[in-house]
Structure 1
Amino acid sequence: MFANPFTDEELSGRLAAVRAAMAERGLDMVLVSTPENIFYLTGLDHWGYFAPHLLVVPAEGDMVLVTRQMERVSIEKQVRNALFHGHADNETAADLAVRLLKDSFAARERSRAVLKAVVAEIEGQADGAMRIGVETWSAGHSYGFGHALRESLPDIHWVDVTGLVDHLRLVKSPLEQNLMRRAAAISDIAAQAAIEAIRDGAGERDVVAECHAAMIRAGGEVPGFGPFIRPGGRLDEEHTTWGDGVYRTGEPVFIELSGCVSRYHAPLGRLVHVGAIRDEDARMAEVAGRAFDAVLSALHPGALARDVYAAWQAVVDEAGLSHYRRHHCGYCVGIGFPPSWTGGNRVTGLRHDSDLEIREGMSFHILSWLMGTGKGDFFVSNAVLLGPEGPEVLTRTPLGPTVR
């Protein structure tokens, strides 16, 4: 945080890719409001995203970033490839955006009439209205924000471009891959600190304190999710974490966490047993490991996400668990802002019904989750990068079973 991790060349290539996608859709402009996508295109890494940000991406010319005026210093320090217009707190980002867009439209109407006519003819629009793309499914695009834009600019042909930039983010550049490797190393350090702190009588808060301290001292930044560390009795609570309890012999402890470097995440998950592990859970650990390896074998360029899930499920079925199904066996991961490391408000999962094509440079949080099977419980997860030599498991904490 507080520094732009990207080179000018990296940012220029991303903007060119966005503009190529805009040209394919006949768009004059795109308004980006997802924090992860604004960061991807500009490098702005701060906590100000709780307030609306709007990155105006025209088909040509300078990008413009609109948000609160008080963010000026951070933006001037970090953002090199976009102009900044800030609004006072007695108005909204939509108010300022509308003024800027109206000024822009007036100038562009005079110089681009011929191009607009061509676009209108291609799209079958008699009025030749400007086509502006907006991310309608975005944490940064509230109903009020979108309503204000549409009501104030009635002559625009609005196009939903949700996923346009997200799709480009799926494949990581060499620079991004290195950031994920650094995040993975921090994930391992944090996980090891948590594991070493778990014992009979250890307080939940104390375990997480050790984990957090190790993460920060290793160079980690605030992750999109805080560490999920909780007793097995609260496993099904999904996105909850530590409480006021004390760990006791005979119970498992769930750990899922990620280091974060320049907003890039490399999550891992482990199940730690206090004092002892049941025989059926130890056997399930072997199944989980084999299923994880099957996912790695299925991860290759050109495969579909549903094929990867099928490889995981085949191992589970062969183990006598044909009744057991999961919503996915992993998901794409990389850039993430609080409150998530999944890259925005959508999860791009390796699901049984997904046609997502696997490509070199993609990165995943792979989960081999076998909890509540009726025949034993275990899970393991790792960050995995698909490189030119095949899948690279970025997180290296021992898979277990781990008994403390």
Structure 2
Amino acid sequence: MLPFEKVEYQERVRKVKTSMEEQGIEVLLITDPANMNYVSGYDAMSYYVPQCIILATDLEEPVCIVRLQDLYCATETTWMSEENVIAYPDKYLWEPKVLHVMDFIGDFLKEKGLHTKKTGLEFDAYYFTAHWYKRLERSLPDAEFIDTTSLVNWVRGQKSVKELEYMQIAARIVEKTMYNAIEKINVGVRESHVAAGVYSDLVEGTGVYGGEYPALAPVMPAGERTAGAHFSWTTEGKYQDDQLVYMELSGSYKRYHAPLTRTIFIGEPPVKVKDTAKIVIEGLNTALAAVKPGVTCEEVEKAWQTTINKYGLEKESRMGYTVGIGYPPVWMENSAFFKPGDKTVLKPNMTFHMMPGMWLDGYGVAITETIRVTDNGCETITRFPRELFVK
């Protein structure tokens, strides 16, 4: 059963085609698995081999091209007619310098008379390589290639009622997971034991709804490793007294994510940790209050930055990003960001992970929320006590 009605997918395709027309794009090759999922429903762990969705102004439906081994995955998860789900044999993978999947795609476009069109490619997508591009150039010498890396990402920005429902379920999953993880953290407990519980809870889900693997592995450093933004657990490490821990986790439901981060101290927190946590929370609350339709992303970031600047702190990195569908390596949508210079205007039902983490000399504090822009402000999709947890 598809996670959305066919009419919702068709409306998504219409919006993407409108954006294509505005940019003069006649053919679009979508290789980002999150964008493939958005327009077609395709959902399988096959993104390690070449695959794509093709949209064209001259084609009524999208075309899904996948490995023959994944044909059943595609027919089961996409909404298009059977003739628009096309499989290539494994010989296109055996000697990629001799015969490549992009040759297969090029031949398909020639067959459809689309080989001389202005063609959009996701140049900077995680799963589109320089070799693929070179093969396409060779296969389609008369095509004009245009960089459309974030074209679909921007269309994904405003979520539908059903998408928001799935993000709410993901939020309930991560809240349960975070609560249980904090309960397990204690002196002498292995970090890997807590990590195992995190994975169990993320997959088990809420009891009513099961969960899926997240697009990013749990971030959960301890001690001085909290000064790094993206450490996982250590294989042999055990939690110690007077130790700082933070966890950035996300539930995943129908590939929709709701990230949440909280910071924990085992023992009596030092003054600098307590003070930093207070500043982060104050800045987060100020930024949340600044969010509403018509405000720009940079204005939200400025509200946060101005708050922490009062206390002599400064955050160089962005403090939030759009979030929704996610496949490894990230759950981030790669469109709008809460950062200086981003003049994206907020609209209702845009969703963000507001990420005001501070990574300082020898320690880090992060307390985050997934939020939805409402008609007159914002609401947090994740709901968890916003504090420094002390064990």
Which TM-score applies when normalising by structure 2? 0.92
Pick from 213, 218, 224 the counterpart of residue 233 of structure 1. Answer: 224
Find the aligned partners of 1:287 and 1:99 in 2 and give their Cα distance.
Answer: 58
Unpaired runs of 5+ residues, structure 1, are: 110-128
Q: Which residue of 2 aligns with 1:139?
A: 126
Find the aligned partners of 1:317 and 1:236 in 2 and give their Cα distance.
Answer: 19
Find the aligned partners of 2:27 and 2:202 in 1 and give their Cα distance.
Answer: 41
Pick from 88, 91, 103 the counterpart of residue 111 of structure 2. Answer: 103
Find the aligned partners of 2:303 and 2:155 in 1 and give their Cα distance.
Answer: 26
Residue type at the aligned position of 1:268: L
Q: Which residue of 1 aligns with 2:325?
A: 335
Deviation at 1:387, TM superposition (A): 2.1
Find the aligned partners of 1:138 and 1:229 in 2 and give their Cα distance.
Answer: 27
Query: In 2, are the aligned partners of 1:15 and 1:41 still within 8 Å (CA)?
Result: yes
Query: In 1, are the aligned partners of 2:250 and 2:257 still within 8 Å (CA)?
Result: yes
Find the aligned partners of 2:256 and 2:378 in 1 and give their Cα distance.
Answer: 18
Q: Which residue of 2 aligns with 1:385?
A: 372
Q: Which residue of 2 aligns with 1:23?
A: 21
Query: In 2, are the aligned partners of 1:280 and 1:377 still within 8 Å (CA)?
Result: no
Q: Which residue of 2 aligns with 1:214?
A: 201
Matches within 5 A, 1:355-394: 355-372=343-360, 378-394=365-381
Q: Which residue of 1 aligns with 2:55?
A: 57
Q: Which residue of 2 aligns with 1:259?
A: 251
Residue type at the aligned position of 2:187: D
Query: In 1, are the aligned partners of 2:292 and 2:376 still within 8 Å (CA)?
Result: no
Cα deviation digits, residues 57-109 of structure 1 (max 9, x gap):
1103232111201111111111122511111111132122111111111xx79
Indicate whether 1:291 and 2:283 are aligned: yes
Deviation at 1:229, TM superposition (A): 1.2
1:26 and 1:325, CA in 2 relative to 1: closer, same or farther beyond 3 A?
A: closer
Query: In 1, are the aligned partners of 2:214 and 2:252 still within 8 Å (CA)?
Result: yes
Q: Secondary structure at the match of 2:246?
A: strand
Unpaired runs of 5+ residues, structure 2, are: 93-99
Indicate whether 1:79 and 2:62 are aligned: no
Cα deviation digits, residues 164-202 of structure 1 (max 9, x gap):
111101111111111111101111011111100000111
Cα deviation digits, residues 186-225 of structure 1 (max 9, x gap):
1101111110000011100011111221222222100001
Q: Which residue of 2 aligns with 1:93?
A: 101
Query: In 2, are the aligned partners of 1:258 and 1:265 still within 8 Å (CA)?
Result: yes
Deviation at 1:349, TM superposition (A): 2.3
Q: Secondary structure at the match of 2:107?
A: helix
Q: Which residue of 2 aligns with 1:308?
A: 300
Indicate whether 1:352 and 2:340 are aligned: yes
Deviation at 1:373, TM superposition (A): 7.2
Aligned length: 376
Q: Secondary structure at the match of 1:286?
A: helix
Aligned Cα root-mean-square deviation (Å): 1.8
Query: In 2, are the aligned partners of 1:54 and 1:93 still within 8 Å (CA)?
Result: no
Q: Which residue of 2 aligns with 1:123?
A: none
Q: Secondary structure at the match of 1:258?
A: strand
Find the aligned partners of 2:364 and 2:52 in 1 and give their Cα distance.
Answer: 45
Find the aligned partners of 1:236 and 1:372 in 2 and give their Cα distance.
Answer: 6
1:377 and 1:341, CA in 2 relative to 1: closer, same or farther beyond 3 A?
A: closer
Q: Which residue of 2 aligns with 1:276?
A: 268
Find the aligned partners of 1:311 and 1:247 in 2 and give their Cα distance.
Answer: 36
Find the aligned partners of 2:131 and 2:2 in 1 and give their Cα distance.
Answer: 31
Q: Secondary structure at the match of 2:164?
A: helix
Find the aligned partners of 1:66 and 1:223 in 2 and give their Cα distance.
Answer: 25
Find the aligned partners of 2:137 and 2:30 in 1 and give their Cα distance.
Answer: 15
Find the aligned partners of 1:259 and 1:67 in 2 and give their Cα distance.
Answer: 27
Matches within 5 A, 1:114-129: 129=116
Cα deviation digits, residues 18-71 of structure 1 (max 9, x gap):
111122223221111111110000111110111111211110323211120111
Residue type at the aligned position of 2:296: L
Find the aligned partners of 1:251 and 1:185 in 2 and give their Cα distance.
Answer: 28
Query: In 2, are the aligned partners of 1:36 and 1:335 still within 8 Å (CA)?
Result: yes
Deviates more, 1:208-217 or 1:243-252: 208-217
Residue type at the aligned position of 1:67: V
